[in-house]
Amino acid sequence: MTEVPPLPISVVVTDDLERSRLTVFFRLLLAIPHLIVVIVWGIAAFAVAVVLWLALLVEGKAPGTLQKFVASYIRYSTQVSAYINLAADPYPAFGGAVGYPIDLEIELATRQSRGRVAARLVLAFPALLLLAVLGGGFSGANFTTFSSSTSGDGGDLWALGWSSGGVAMTAAFLAWFASLARGKMPLGLRDLIAYCIGYTAQAMGYLLLVTDRYPTTDPARVVPFARLPPHAVRLELSDEVRRSRLTVFFRFPLAVPHLIWLTLWSMLVLVLVTPAWLIALVIGRLPSFLHRFFAAWIRYTTHVLAFLYVIGGPFPGFTGAAGRYPVDIAFAPPERQRRAVTAFRLFLAFPALVLAGAYGTAALVVALLGWWAALFTGRMPEGLRNLGAVSLRYSAQATAYLFLVTESYAYAAPALRDRPRNVQLELPFDAPGVGPTAIEAV
């Protein structure tokens, strides 16, 4: 097996998930002084990055002091971002102290390839596009300010990122309610926000010439500590990243027959879901035949989306059969479900559906970037593929919860691997059944 080099900018998490309700409630207001500093420092950091760019172009080597200045800015903005997005609880130090619960380890790259430096802004564009939908940073606010003054296109990109909220902001929005209610941050949401923050730090480090390693979206590398708890709905990923350029080029029209079939199937599912809900309320579980039918539909949806988004390679079948597609969903057998949870399923599913929407936006960008990458290289970048797979896994879990296939709530962390079963779960709460409950695992 090839040794994977460590990331030059990696996120370190020592957060204990405890949250002060009072500071959570006033979090945005409390962060205002930090925001001012971040903006001012950000303008300076971008100006310094221009000097760095010139120095690297001329000498092929970056002045260490200037690079450290920019790296410090990235660390500080990461900590402020973690504070605002509720990934960490303590009020950060102005200037960014080492040892904050969400911190960065940064390895400076003083020598960088001149060619890659020269084209840095162009090369960084895909990463910035992803950053816009993941939205885990504060550098964005600065970038808007910077770009609006220079009428650059990046400003529009960032405006898009902020206006659409991004995955991190959606997760933070949900986490705000959960933290206020429980005094603890749900682990899944914390890991998701940490992932977005970690990716943002990598992307900004690349753009601002702290490193010349291209940022990876692979959740296993950005947040290697994130693991999935046992769940009734699991993703089974056996996909090879090789892609046929021809099927990639025609990916959308090839998917059209599937989309038509999926629409028809979905209409039938929508017709059946109300009777299914009533039956589940009466008998306390979903009948086996409905469980199979809904599970096949969710599996088929995942196959089709995986194909459409280039997350999966082969053309999928039309039946949603288990074990036939390299991006597959496995379901536990039908389980007993609490009637109270079943009765309010639609309302309980709402946060998961909101987050699934944010994840879905990320999957669209994955599809766009993956399409180009696969078309040119004949391979889907593994990081993009894994982010897309996480998105599909979350969407499948949220849909399965909504459609009564399981009572286990969708787990938000961007993880593909299961937590080993013989290891004590580090969930903040006791998790009944096979999976986490609604509030803990959003």
Partner 1 sequence: MRIKPLDLRLGRGVRVALVVVAGLAWVWCALLLLRSAVPTDLRAVRLDTTTIFGKALVRRAEHVERFFLIVWVLSQIALFATLWVYARRGPRFARESAAGPIGTGMLLGMLGLGIVWLVQLPFGALGLWWARRYDLSDIGYLEWAFGDWFELAAAFTSICVTLLIVMFLARRLGEAWWIPGAAVFVVIGAGFAFAQPYLLAETTPLGDPSLRRAATEFEQKQGVGGIPVSVEDVSGTTSQANAYAVGFGASRKIVLWSTMVDGTFTDREVRAVLAHEIGHHSSDHIPKSLAWFGLFALPGAWILMRATRRRGGMGEAAAIPLALLVVAALQLALSPAQSWISRGMESEADWKALQTTRDPAAVRGLFVGFARTSLGDPDPPAWAHILLDSHPTLAQRVAMAEAWRRQQP
Residue 316 CB, nearest approach to partner 1 (Å)? 6
Residue 247 CB, nearest approach to partner 1 (Å)? 5
Residues numbered 110-139 forming contacts with partner 1, rule: CB under 8 A: none
Q: Is 284 left (phi over 0), alpha (psi -120 to 50) or beta?
A: left
Of 110, 150, 244, 266, the one binding partner 1 by CB under 8 A: 244
CB atoms within 10 A of CB 237: 19
Of 25, 177, 249, 376, the one binding partner 1 by CB under 8 A: 249
Stretch that binds partner 1, among 58-66, 86-94, 247-255, 368-376 (CB under 8 A): 247-255
Q: What does the alpha-carbon distance between residue 106 and residue 211 come to, in Å, rounded to a whole number?
A: 9
Residue 247 near partner 1 by CB under 8 A: yes
Of 260, 270, 343, 346, the one binding partner 1 by CB under 8 A: 260
Residues numbered 297-316 forming contacts with partner 1, rule: CB under 8 A: 303, 313-316
Of 26, 177, 225, 252, the one binding partner 1 by CB under 8 A: 252
Of 95, 317, 378, 432, the one binding partner 1 by CB under 8 A: 317
- If we measure between CA atoms, which residue out of 166, 194, 231 comes closest to residue 441? 231
Q: What does the alpha-carbon distance between residue 442 and residue 361 come to, in Å, rounded to a whole number?
A: 18
Q: Residues 356, 398: contact at Cβ < 8 Å?
A: yes
Stretch that binds partner 1, among 215-223, 240-248, 291-299, 357-365 (CB under 8 A): 240-248
Of 33, 60, 95, 257, the one binding partner 1 by CB under 8 A: 257
Residue 249 CB, nearest approach to partner 1 (Å)? 8
Stretch that binds partner 1, among 51-59, 225-233, 251-259, 289-297 (CB under 8 A): 251-259
Q: What does the alpha-carbon distance between residue 236 and residue 413 come to, in Å, rounded to a whole number?
A: 16
Residue 94 near partner 1 by CB under 8 A: no
Task: Tell the residue number behind the tokens 């079948």, with chain if given.
Answer: 317
**177 phi/psi in degrees, rounded to 5:** -65, -45
Residue 325 near partner 1 by CB under 8 A: yes
The bridge status of strand 9-13 relative to strand 102-106 is antiparallel
Instruction: Report the DSSP beta bridge partners of residue 9.
Output: 106
**378 phi/psi in degrees, rounded to 5:** 75, 15
Give kind and range of the element (H or E) at residue 43. Answer: helix 32-59
Of 256, 264, 270, 282, the one binding partner 1 by CB under 8 A: 256
Residue 324 near partner 1 by CB under 8 A: yes
Residues numbered 265-284 forming contacts with partner 1, rule: CB under 8 A: none
- DSSP for 391-437, please give it: HHHHHHHHHHHHTTS-SSPPP-S---SBPPTTSPP--SS---TTS--
Residues near partner 1 (CB under 8 A), total: 21
Residue number, 84 or 235, with CB nearest to partner 1: 235
Residue 378 near partner 1 by CB under 8 A: no
- If we measure between CA atoms, which residue out of 383, 382, 441 comes closest to residue 413? 441
| Binding footprint of partner 1 on the chain (CB under 8 A) | 244, 246-247, 249-250, 252-254, 256-257, 260, 303, 313-318, 324-326
